[in-house]
Amino acid sequence: MNTLYEDDYEEMAAAFQCFQIQTLYQTLKDNEIDETLIRKICEQFILSQGVALDQNWIESKCGKVFPAVAFTKTHPDYEPEELYLNNGMFSFSEYAMGNISWFFEDHQPSESPQKFGCVGADGKPA
C-alpha cells in the first residue's frame, strides 16, 4: 500500500468533519432535541473531538496510541492501493467552527449538504 501525504487530505478531512456534524445533527433532530441546543451540542462535540484528534493519546492494551484519521478511495476491506494521511498541515480543531458555520449558516441542515453513501460490491462508492 502506498501512503500519501498530499494536500488533498485537507479536503478529505474537512468533508469527514462535516459528515460528523451532519450525522450528529440528524441523530439529535431524530431525538427531538431543540434546534438551538443542537447547534450548541454540535459545536462542543466537534471542537472537543477536533482537539482529541489533533493532540490527545488514548490508553489501550497496546500502550498509549495517537488517533489518526486516514482515507482511501477503495473500502479498507478491499485492500486499497493508497492511504491518505495527514501531512501535519491539517488541524481538526482549527477547522471545527468553520465547518459548523458551513453546515448551520451556509446550508439548511435539513438539506443534507454533505453527501455520503455505502460501499459497493467492488469496494468503491456505490
Mean pLDDT calculated for residue range 120-126? 85
So what's the pLDDT on residue 110?
65
Give the model confidence (pLDDT) of 68-99 as tens digits. Answer: 999 999 999 998 889 999 988 999 999 999 99
Predicted model pTM: 0.87
How far is the C-alpha of 126 from the C-alpha of 114, rounded, in Å?
16
- In this structure, what C-alpha cell is assigned to residue 125? 462508492
Mean pLDDT calculated for residue range 49-53? 97
Q: Is residue 18 part of a domain?
A: yes
Q: Cα angle at 83 between 10 and 97, to 5 degrees?
A: 25
Q: Is residue 118 part of a domain?
A: no
Question: What proportion of the chain, given as a percentage, has pLDDT over 90?
Answer: 71
Q: Is residue 117 part of a domain?
A: no
Could you say which DSSP state residue 121 is in?
T
How many domains does the chain fold into?
1
How far is the C-alpha of 70 from the C-alpha of 83, rounded, in Å?
7
* Cell 438539506 sits on residue: 111
So what's the pLDDT on residue 53?
96
Q: Is residue 95 part of a domain?
A: yes
pLDDT for residue 38 is more than 80: yes
> What is 90-101 written as a DSSP string?
--HHHHHHHHHH
Residue 18: which domain range? 2-111
pLDDT for residue 10 is more than 90: yes
